[in-house]
Amino acid sequence: SGSLVFSPNGKHLAYVGTRPGKQYVVLDGKAFEYRGISKQGVVFSPEGERYAWVAAKEGGQVAVIDGEESAPYSGIAPQGIVFSPDGKRCGYSASSAGKYLVVLDGEEGALFDSVAGFKFSERGQHAVYVGLREGKWFGVVDGVPHGPFDELRSLSSAQKGGSPEKM
C-alpha cells in the first residue's frame, strides 16, 4: 500500500509493481521494467515536478532522474536520491570499483574510501558531505573537496560558541 505515491502538487501518480522476475515503476500510466527497484521507491521533488528512483539493471544499479538513467554503479546508497529543498538540484551517493562518490546534478564527484552526510543547505543552493581517503578527512562543498584533515568536527546546537564535537 505504501507503493502508491502522488507528487506533492498532485499532478503525478507513481507506484512500484512486481511480476515474476521483474519489477516495474509505473509513472503516470507508463511502465519502466527493471530487475529490481530500491525500497525508496519513487521520490518527487518538493514542488512535485521532478521525479527519481533507483533501479537494478544488468551491470549494476542506476539512478533514474527525470527519465534519464545514470551510468551503472556497483551500488547506490540506501538514502537514495535526494532533491534540494527548492527542487532544482539532486544528488546521491554511489560506489564503483570499491570506491565511493557523490553524483551531484549529474556530475560525478571525487572518489573516496567512504562518503557520508550528503545533504543540501536549507534553500538548496549548496550541497555538502564528508569523504575519507587514506585515513584523511575532506569536507566537500558543491563538489569541491577541502582538506585533507586529520579529523572533522562540527558544533552541535547545544555547543554553539563552545568547543567542537567530533563527527
- Nearest Cα to Cα of residue 39 among 18, 20, 54, 25: 54
Q: Where are the beta strands (DSSP E) in the chain?
A: 5-6, 13-19, 22-27, 30-34, 36-37, 43-44, 51-57, 60-65, 68-69, 75-76, 82-83, 90-96, 99-104, 107-108, 114-120, 127-133, 136-141, 144-149, 153-154, 165-166
pLDDT computed for residue 166 by the predictor: 39
pLDDT, one tens digit per residue, over 15-62 is 999 999 899 999 999 999 999 999 999 999 999 999 999 999 988 999
pLDDT computed for residue 152 by the predictor: 87
Band the pLDDT of 1: cuts 50, 70, 90.
Answer: low
pLDDT, one tens digit per residue, over 68-104 is 999 999 999 999 999 999 999 999 999 999 999 999 9
pLDDT computed for residue 155 by the predictor: 62
Say whether pLDDT at 157 is over 60: no
Q: Is the pTM of this model over 0.85?
A: yes
pLDDT computed for residue 162 by the predictor: 45
Say whether pLDDT at 163 is over 50: no
pLDDT, one tens digit per residue, over 109-152 is 999 999 999 999 999 999 999 999 999 999 999 999 999 999 98
- 14 grid coordinates: 507513481
CB count within 10 Å of CB 104 equals 21
Looking at residue 135, the DSSP 8-state letter turns out to be T
